Chain A
């Protein structure tokens, strides 16, 4: 086992152990913190497919996070008010079922990523960054000015949505759901990176001309990666909204996009488990520094600056040393 694999295993075990301990000593708040870590890490794992594997610096992933959140908010609010979403041409009812909400979130975010990606991927480099940021902002303003689902105030859900066979109101059970989805996404990401698709996508990042000359389209590879990436971040959005039982335009905000990206760099760019380490560090800092100073974001900013300037490998890079090749 390489050092990175040991660290990855330790990370996952740690993420399991902390809430298990908190459950044993009845500290539900700590379980909620761990749940936040799992969900935000999932959002980062999603972005990491576009960013780490595809080299696509998307600064608009809050768009998909927010769409996932509103997928949950809209479906659940209709279910709790017993009003259908739509009656013509066919009836669509709200739902409080997590699996249905997840599928809706995945699908809606994938669709949005397809449209945004198809437009943004016509460009590259700094244009791509600015355009993804702008599309994220577009949805932010749309969610503010569209009054049907709460506008600026957002939407509240009274009771967390349900999952067959589990009591989602119990923090530890809801954590287990989020953790399982995160583990699934990590597994999927690891497989994807080694599969033909990942190999080709990774090559398209390093040498688009090569990929063209073996008969593949870098554009299509990137678009597919962007759609998968957006869908996973959308799923995380649905869980995040369920955790808070609240969804608002701030899920669409550019700060959200920036934070998801910060998880990746804090953990280590190009590391499969980077978002997990980054999200854990972020939430821990928020909790510890936030208690010490109202202005903890200054310290986060300084830390981030130091990592970018002097410790490019992030947490995992510091612990695991230089990156070794896959296989």
Chain B
């Protein structure tokens, strides 16, 4: 078995008396989509924040590309190639779609930021940004102000910004939220092909998408992972059925 790209070992995080994460260990292997599902309040957002660097765990370790990044700030993890998309869009709303995508390309290029040459007329930045927009189907909206996008389109832009980083792993927080059936179907198709580029840790509520995409699933309930396995294994798991899937499965 190949080494995992991203792994957590015994992550624990409490807020006062509430255990938001308890001994969470999971890994993301090359070429896979690993979905994390769980009811609201199960601690999915807390888990993502720890993996990406917004929150420091009380205990446990996070490894990315074989390095311990537990103490690294968000931007260091991003520079190593960990790309995150946000559940609630964190885009520069007053800027255009192209400017947002260019921002990601800037981060990926690294080095000092220029003070004088316009960003949008720099070939490499422009090409990276446009390619990413084309891939998610937003190229026609490049000049649109981001605030005028629909919720679904903002999700697409989130993914496009992540693409411009040329990441080694994706962490996606509900990329289908706010999308219609058609948009959701297209995003599912897109993510399906994306796993060969870099593995995806996917937190998603859309169960159809999850079951269609995931190579493996982890079920998070009250901050604990109660089961990890293939879609078939999870469907068959009695604990999962009683604790979470219930009628939906």
Point out residues on A near B: beta carbons under 8 Å. 188, 191-192, 194-200, 202-203, 206-207, 209-217, 221, 325, 327
- Report whether A327 and B115 are in contact in the complex, using a CB–CB cutoff of 8 Å: no
In the complex, whether B249 has a CB less than 8 A from a CB of chain A is no
Q: Name the A residues within 8 Å of B149 (CB-CB).
A: none
Contact residues of B between 180 and 237, Cβ < 8 Å to A: none
In the complex, whether B61 has a CB less than 8 A from a CB of chain A is no
- Report whether B75 and A216 are in contact in the complex, using a CB–CB cutoff of 8 Å: yes
CB distance from A186 to the nearest CB of B (A): 14
The number of chain B residues with a CB under 8 A from chain A is: 41
- Report whether A212 and B120 are in contact in the complex, using a CB–CB cutoff of 8 Å: no
CB distance from A327 to the nearest CB of B (A): 6
Q: How far is the CA of A125 from the CA of B179 in the complex (A)?
A: 34
- Report whether A202 and B78 are in contact in the complex, using a CB–CB cutoff of 8 Å: no
- Report whether B113 and A213 are in contact in the complex, using a CB–CB cutoff of 8 Å: no
Q: Name the B residues within 8 Å of A217 (CB-CB).
A: 73, 75
- Report whether B78 and A214 are in contact in the complex, using a CB–CB cutoff of 8 Å: yes
Q: How far is the CA of A196 from the CA of B116 in the complex (A)?
A: 8
Contact with A along B59-86 (1 / 0, CB 8 A): 0000000000000011110110001101
- Report whether B125 and A212 are in contact in the complex, using a CB–CB cutoff of 8 Å: no
CB distance from B37 to the nearest CB of A (A): 23
Q: Given the known inter-chain contacts A199-B99, A215-B165, please indicate yes or no for A210 contacting B119, CB distance below 8 A.
A: no
In the complex, whether B31 has a CB less than 8 A from a CB of chain A is no
In the complex, whether B175 has a CB less than 8 A from a CB of chain A is no
* A195: contacting residue among B96, B113, B145, CB under 8 A: B113
In the complex, whether B102 has a CB less than 8 A from a CB of chain A is yes
- Report whether B91 and A207 are in contact in the complex, using a CB–CB cutoff of 8 Å: yes
- Report whether A214 and B161 are in contact in the complex, using a CB–CB cutoff of 8 Å: yes
| One of B3-11, B17-25, B104-112, B240-248 at the interface | B104-112
Pairs A–B under 8 Å by Cβ, sample size 25: A191-B116, A192-B116, A194-B120, A195-B115, A195-B116, A195-B117, A195-B118, A196-B106, A196-B114, A199-B95, A209-B54, A211-B103, A212-B75, A213-B52, A213-B75, A213-B78, A213-B84, A214-B78, A214-B103, A214-B165, A215-B78, A215-B110, A325-B96, A325-B145, A327-B120
Q: Name the A residues within 8 Å of B79 (CB-CB).
A: 215
- Report whether A200 and B118 are in contact in the complex, using a CB–CB cutoff of 8 Å: no
Q: How far is the CA of A211 from the CA of B75 in the complex (A)?
A: 8
Which of A188, A202, A212, A217 gathers most chain B CB within 10 Å?
A212
- Report whether B107 and A214 are in contact in the complex, using a CB–CB cutoff of 8 Å: yes
CB distance from B146 to the nearest CB of A (A): 9
- Report whether B116 and A210 are in contact in the complex, using a CB–CB cutoff of 8 Å: no
